[in-house]
Structure 1
Amino acid sequence: MAGALAVILAAGKSTRMKSALPKVLHEVCGRAMIDYVVDAARAAGVGKIVAVVGHRADLVQGYLSRTPGIEFALQSEQKGTGHAVMMCREQLAAHHGPVLILAGDTPLLKAESLAALLTAQREQSAAAVIGTATTAANHGLGRIVRAAGGNFLRIVEEKDASPDEKQIQEINTGCYAFDSQSLLGALEQIRPDNSQAEYYLTDCPRILLQSGKPVVALNAFDLVEAQGVNTRVQLADVTASIQAETLAKLMASGVTIVSPPNTIIDPRAIIEPDTVIHPFTVISGAVRIGSDCVIGPHAVISGAVTLPAGTTVGAFQELRVES
């Protein structure tokens, strides 16, 4: 998969979050949410990433510039997802291979799901692979319409769906794998013929299918993965999900967390078995804690802190090393 390119859409505002900070830079468990998308793409085998920036582009580009292998495309006016990808024409034209299209506000994406998209695109020589999920809570989501034999027909949005189509539980996650040159050709044909006067990326699979090229809808995602963050409530929900997964992995590896609901641990932290974490402890950053340590309660450890085996950090102690 080393030849894969990823386009990450990161031009949006934080309108519903009531924030001047670009949405993708809001933190989830101590990291900007877009970092999780970048990590998932890298782990799926992506070699190069193009981030489409727009709102407060200087902030987003300045932040991501610290990460090697990321290029940028500017969407100075937000005219839809298709328009955002159009801003990457130069990079797409130079790339001959698979392209992932991802949203920068979906920090729960799993690398395994993205790798499945790339595998399907390669093995089926597909012009487009649409990542889908199944849910009964499908209100407001684009439905996947299939032919009687199961082949993909089209994506239909809620407002355009018939009563029967509204009953469809397979939905579009907004994650795609395209053949780069097929995508370029489809982008030339999409038009802003809709109530929002925007260029929709969802029109591209339909255009490719109508031109006789293979288009696949792959039900490889858990709905939670595609959960975008548009509000502070959703930000808290996503943070809670990642935090719960982090604590579960640590406990499965032999770490005792006395009160998980009252403990915060950064996903980047490494903690060895038989260490005990007491309630109201906060561990943030790439902290390394050896085995047989006792931490807390009410301890705060942050940054590039390394604690050898057998260390005790007592109640209300704070250890901080700037990363």
Structure 2
Amino acid sequence: MSEKTYKVGIIGAGVMGDRMIQAIANHSLYQVASVSDVSEERAREAAKQAGDAAWYTDYQEMLDDMHIDLVYLAVPPKYHHPITLEVLKRKKHLLCEKPLANSLAEAQEMLAAAEAAGVVHAMHFPMYYQTVLPQMIARLPELGTIRRIDILTHFHQWPRPWQQAAWLAGREQGGFIREVLPHFVHLTYELFGELQVIRANVDYPDDPNACEVGVSAYLECSDGTPITVNGLAGIAHKEHLDYRIYGTKGTISLVNWSNLHFGLEGEVPQPITIPLHERLILLLDEMAKKMNGEDARLVTFETGVKVQKVLEDLLGKS
């Protein structure tokens, strides 16, 4: 008996939609059946890239195609909630980009709807499917008692040059707190469990419609381990991201997404050579397992709601 090929409908033909199309092209279990985007030009071009798939400018029309097994949602956060509810009404499996929603209330409603629909629901957190995560987990015991976790996100320009979309620069749904910090909040959940915001200060420019330019915050893990957040944009500094864990016996840091450094007491942390995998391929592998009724390693909407709560607290919206 041949393996099932899952037909995917992609909503949002931007940077992430394009990456997913490329990943599906290299995966034997999937086929892009249709693409939807508010831009007719982008929808048509992405559908052509996907092998002459059907294309739409109205996602509702696309969702009426009963041959779609899975929807990949890659639109700005403001639209996750309404589109998700329409997807779930049709009981389609759903893979959503982060953050889950544009508010905690929306995220909670999306989780409830996904559970009621009885479908596979998952989120795309790239670091979860990279080899750095198991490497970090394996080395945690060597660090001794964890003293502090520091999260640093510095940007010369925001939005970044390759990410020039108006919504990313806006206060309503953009900013690096919503776009970048979810990755590190989720990483902290995976490594240490629950966390909460104790205090946060967000700096905004004079323009009332512009997103934040800075954040400094203090969080804690459930055992009281402190977490600091230091974020700045628009500074004379090359983009630099650093997730660093200090222990009584050593230090480990993840620099610029995929560079892992490790050192024991008295040592200067050194780079660790680790193999890199195609994370979207691994994500699609796990989605296929779950849709086939098998156990799978996925980040579900339940975790997405937890991450959303932290984001809301950082932004002072809870």
Normalised by the length of structure 1, the TM-score is 0.30
Q: Which has the higher contact order (CA 8 A, sep 6+)?
A: 2
Normalised by the length of structure 2, the TM-score is 0.31
Larger radius of gyration, structure 1 or 2? 1
Structure with greater helix share of residues:
2
